[in-house]
């Protein structure tokens, strides 16, 4: 792959913590595919982050390969981006240790991620949970990333990475690029099918609330048939119609049209027909992704080679940054 010397650098990562939803696809993965055409992209499978909550080792390994296959099936091109497993590049953890010495306890404890996960996993409030944002900062700063594509709920982590970068630069001299959040707009409004006040989540207890990338056609259609709407039977986007607005957002994301165009498409049609059409549109997009993911997972050697190649490229880039950091903080590195 030719190095994108004149391209801005992007870093992003997702944990291999189970099945992805159509919200993950529309809001993140599809965006990654577009970004690889314009930026020098480093995309990680964040297994170091994943173990801040208890994982079953065999499942974690399986989910890592499944996620890699999903990314490739969705259109990530290993010739255009570095796709790798976070733990395969030791500089992530090494830089995190240095950055820990510039991060204040108050900063870390105020992070939403720490608060949320501490509440959900009260029996396992470990230091990794508090250190999660510092590791995320290390992830980003290692590659001198210009931009980090995030949802609004993740902006806080980029802000901490910016603060740490500025603090390090002020203390030791210009070293890190101060990253900017690249806020995702498309897909951001994909909500739970059963409670549109909530974001669609793979951990939702209601089995009909989320549509997963692995759901077969019948399951997708069934979930959309059961999606909440309202009693008005008018298909238009409005704050007073969160369920219908959510379905319009999903349709527009998967049909490649605007919400206004979707409203015109379904003008005068009933909710039953509308929900079926949304489900069919989503299922049509998922079918080739599922087929390609299955094919890729049958060739474990190929997947391993792709991840190895991505890790080698990430290692090369991150080693330069870490060496500079070690020199700046005063570590003796030999002649």
117 labelled catalytic: yes
Query: CA 321 to CA 325: how far, in whole Å?
Result: 6
User: How far, CA to CA in Å, does 200 sit from each of 97, 144, 242?
Assistant: 34, 32, 13
| Angular region, 108: left φ>0, alpha ψ -120 to 50, beta rest | alpha
202 labelled catalytic: yes
Q: Quick check: 239 and 231 in contact, CB under 8 A?
A: no
Q: What is the 3-state secondary structure (H, E, C) of 158-198?
A: HHHHHHHHHHHHHHHCCCCCCCEEEECCCCCCCECCCCCCC
Closest CA relative to residue 100, chosen from 58, 132, 78, 63: 132
Helix, strand or coil, per DSSP, at residue 146: coil
Closest CA relative to residue 139, chosen from 7, 37, 15: 15
Q: Quick check: 7 and 40 in contact, CB under 8 A?
A: yes
275 labelled catalytic: no
Q: Active site residue: 8, 155, 202, 324, which one?
A: 202
Angle at 294 between CA 289 and CA 299, to 5 degrees: 125
At residue 85, φ and ψ (nearest 5 deg) are -95, 130
The catalytic residues are: 117, 199, 202
């Amino acid at each position: 792959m030719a190095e994108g010397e004149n391209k801005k650098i992007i870093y992003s990562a997702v944990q291999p913590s189970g099945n992805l939803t159509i919200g993950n696809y529309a809001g993140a993965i599809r965006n990654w595919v577009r970004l690889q055409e314009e930026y020098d992209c480093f995309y990680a499978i964040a297994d170091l982050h994943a173990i801040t909550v208890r994982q079953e080792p065999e499942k974690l390994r399986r989910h890592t390969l499944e996620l890699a296959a999903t990314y490739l099936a969705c259109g990530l091109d290993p010739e255009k981006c570095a796709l790798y497993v976070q733990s395969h590049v030791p500089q992530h953890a090494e830089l995190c240790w240095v950055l820990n010495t510039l991060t204040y306890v108050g900063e870390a404890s105020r992070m939403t991620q720490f608060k949320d996960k501490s509440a959900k996993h009260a029996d396992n409030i470990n230091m990794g949970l508090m250190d999660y944002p510092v590791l995320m900062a290390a992830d980003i700063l290692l590659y001198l990333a210009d931009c980090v594509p995030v949802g609004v709920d993740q902006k806080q982590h980029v802000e901490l990475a910016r603060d740490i970068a500025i603090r390090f630069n002020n203390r030791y001299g210009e070293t890190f690029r101060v990253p900017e959040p690249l806020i995702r707009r498309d897909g951001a409004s994909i909500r739970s099918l059963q409670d549109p006040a909530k974001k669609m989540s793979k951990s939702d207890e209601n089995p009909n609330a989320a549509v997963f990338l692995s759901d077969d056609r019948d399951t997708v259609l069934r979930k959309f048939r059961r999606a909440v709407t309202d009693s008005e039977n008018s298909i238009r986007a409005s704050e007073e119609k969160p369920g219908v607005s959510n379905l319009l957002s999903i349709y527009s994301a998967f049909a490649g049209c605007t919400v206004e165009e979707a409203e015109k498409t379904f003008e005068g049609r009933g909710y039953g027909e509308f929900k079926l059409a949304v489900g069919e549109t989503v299922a049509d997009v998922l079918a080739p992704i599922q087929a390609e993911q299955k094919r890729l997972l049958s060739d474990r050697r190929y997947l391993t080679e792709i991840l190895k190649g991505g890790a080698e490229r990430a290692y090369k880039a991150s080693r330069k940054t870490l060496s500079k950091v070690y020199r700046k903080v005063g570590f003796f590195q030999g002649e």
